[in-house]
Chains A and B, each alone.
Chain A
């Protein structure tokens, strides 16, 4: 890891992850710089979600190492925010009640960071409607608020735009760009990469458990013979 010029926010060495008979990751090596917006692309089964979950500390690799700002993912939990296609929220609670609970897990007992996070995704903290009754777009935005309420420096998002309307998707993408400009590192797995053209800094292409290419634009890499 080259700590001198551009300190890598995340470094991965020889990452192998097997699910019984299926090898989801087959020895991934990569370094990712801080403050950039990465989009991870690939077909189903390429290993995108497995990679993301391993980086976030949710999946334990069978072999290899992950370093996040110099620590293991679990040790770096305070610096990590995670969001996925399910909302990771409790349907019976309102947005603020949900965030209040999760804030406690980060040692935050005041309502202010929660309200701020909700406002930053364009929602109203005073809304008492249970999250279960939100539209998909609102729910995903509230989930994003949950992911950022403790002001993490790295965000992992797994298919955050699934089933979300186009307008909400664009809003969220712009929000994420704003966060990236404010020095957060963003990793996003998605099938809807078109929205992120011009917003993401780098596209990471995966196939069959390996990273096969990294491009600055959304043109697929040359296929190998």
Chain B
């Protein structure tokens, strides 16, 4: 925690406290995530052997949809009374704000995934050949890939009309290589077939490239007025 700047720490704690105070977004997001899992279970027959094979894809798509809905929420709060202006006018740096939002989103989405993943395992009777640690690594790298660009594009779409639809419109195409990699890596670990090294390296590369790009360009889009 002491590695973070005061502005990042304060903003992250503020967001957590705000979320806890109102619990609006959290509750509806949790319920939405549950609904997604149930709808998938009704649409993709959980008892069929084929479904177990495509389960990694199903899980990540479910995560993706929940993430997008969550990402829209976390910036919306700053807009309601233009509180973002108060941040921008202060000496605190844009990147401190960005880091705080990324960490907050990771936490938020992590909670949602922690709810959805066990449900999938239960509904689809999933078993994994590979270890839980490997799955956890892929989950972290994959979630990070969605959250880093998602947080950036959510901030970018603040300055657009049709804000809520612009986020997935911009995020999904660019995330395609990451999604392919995280699903493939999960599939390999769960079924024990093939190698997961390439997808994991690609995912890691994706994470590094876009973290760099986001950090370099966030100030530009925050202050684009």
Contact surface of A with B, Cβ cutoff 8 Å? 53, 56-60, 77-78, 80, 82, 84, 86-93, 97, 101-102, 104-107, 109, 146
Report how many A-B pairs have Cβ atoms within 8 Å.
Answer: 73
List the 10 closest pairs (A to B, CB-CB), nearest first.
A104-B10, A77-B91, A105-B90, A86-B82, A88-B86, A105-B92, A82-B89, A87-B81, A92-B21, A59-B225
Given A58-B89, A105-B91: A88 touches B81 (CB 8 Å cut-off)? yes
7 contacts between A and B (CB under 8 A): A56-B89, A77-B91, A87-B81, A90-B77, A104-B9, A104-B10, A107-B6
Given A86-B82, A93-B18: A60 touches B223 (CB 8 Å cut-off)? yes
Given A58-B85, A60-B223, A92-B21: A77 touches B90 (CB 8 Å cut-off)? yes
Q: Please, which residue of chain B has its CB at the minimum distance from the CB of A156? A: B89
B86 adjacent to A106 (CB under 8 Å): no
Chain B's nearest CB lies how many Å from the CB of A73?
A: 9
Size class of the contact patch on chain B: 20 to 34
Q: Please, which residue of chain B has its CB at the minimum distance from the CB of A88? A: B86
Question: In the bound complex, how far is the Cα of B21 from the Cα of A77, in angstroms?
Answer: 30
Q: Confirm or deny: B131 has a beta carbon within 8 angstroms of a beta carbon on chain A.
A: no
Please indicate the chain B residues that have their CB under 8 angstroms from the CB of A82 in the complex: 85-86, 89
Q: Confirm or deny: B14 has a beta carbon within 8 angstroms of a beta carbon on chain A.
A: yes
B83 adjacent to A88 (CB under 8 Å): yes
Contact surface of B with A, Cβ cutoff 8 Å? 6-7, 9-11, 14, 17-18, 21-22, 77, 80-83, 85-92, 223-225
Please indicate the chain A residues that have their CB under 8 angstroms from the CB of B92 in the complex: 105-106
Question: In the bound complex, how far is the Cα of B81 from the Cα of A98, in angstroms?
Answer: 12
Question: In the bound complex, how far is the Cα of B18 from the Cα of A89, in angstroms?
Answer: 12
B225 adjacent to A58 (CB under 8 Å): yes
A88 adjacent to B90 (CB under 8 Å): no
Question: In the bound complex, how far is the Cα of B15 from the Cα of A92, in angstroms?
Answer: 11
Q: Please, which residue of chain A has its CB at the minimum distance from the CB of B89? A: A82
Question: In the bound complex, how far is the Cα of B4 from the Cα of A104, in angstroms?
Answer: 13
Question: In the bound complex, how far is the Cα of B224 from the Cα of A106, in angstroms?
Answer: 22
B14, B17, B81, B90: the one contacting A86 at CB < 8 Å is B81
Question: In the bound complex, how far is the Cα of B13 from the Cα of A109, in angstroms?
Answer: 14
Given A90-B83, A92-B22, A93-B18: A104 touches B89 (CB 8 Å cut-off)? no
Q: Please, which residue of chain A has its CB at the minimum distance from the CB of B18? A: A92
Q: Please, which residue of chain A has its CB at the minimum distance from the CB of B7? A: A105
Question: In the bound complex, how far is the Cα of B11 from the Cα of A54, in angstroms?
Answer: 25
Please indicate the chain A residues that have their CB under 8 angstroms from the CB of B89 in the complex: 56-58, 77, 80, 82
Question: In the bound complex, how far is the Cα of B80 from the Cα of A104, in angstroms?
Answer: 21
